[in-house]
Amino acid sequence: MKRFFICICLVLCWSTVFAYDLTLHDTQASIYFSPQGGAQQAIVDAIGKARESVYVQAYSFTSAPIAKALVDAKARGVKVEAILDKSQRKATYTGATFLKNAGIPVYIDDKHAIAHNKVMILDGQTVITGSFNFTKAAEERNAENLLILRDKGLALLYTENWQKHLEHSEGY
């Protein structure tokens, strides 16, 4: 019984720091499964609709269509910033260099074993997340999932988390 109580206390302590319980009413969601499930195009389309901001967190980022959509968004006046995993420093083909060369601020989160996030926050209203890496393989070969959730409260939580990671990240 004592062991059970200690486990419950640990779970409650951790959940208040790293987890959120939400009830999402009337939240529009789009769900995609790959391979060949349209997730990459859904991301490109969502970025194409952004008007204010796109914040990216990614572990692996080699998708040319997604990188181009981010550059196009910046050209439209959208604020675009990306936090990527430290593996992007040594990768031979990566979106990090492409984005940086296009004038998009790119940061490296090297404070974790891996920065395994796959997140985009668009206009403070939409969250894109799931197992889907922003790579060609994720669209064409891997079994992945992608959620696009349109909810301001959820987007705020993800934006706050993005900002926390930005604080300890370094410029690329």
Residues labelled as active-site residues: 116, 118, 123
- Which spans in the chain are helix H? 2-18, 39-49, 64-75, 95-101, 136-140, 152-167
Query: Which conformational region is residue 95 in: left (phi greater than 0), alpha (psi within -120 to 50 degrees), or beta?
Result: alpha
Residues forming a β-bridge with 163: none
Region of residue 26 (left: phi > 0; alpha: psi -120 to 50; beta: else) = left
Q: Closest by alpha carbon to 147, among 124, 121, 133, 127?
A: 127
73 close to 54: Cβ distance less than 8 angstroms: yes
Residues 17 and 28: their CA atoms lie apart, in Å, by 27
Distance of alpha carbon 140 from alpha carbon 136, whole angstroms? 6
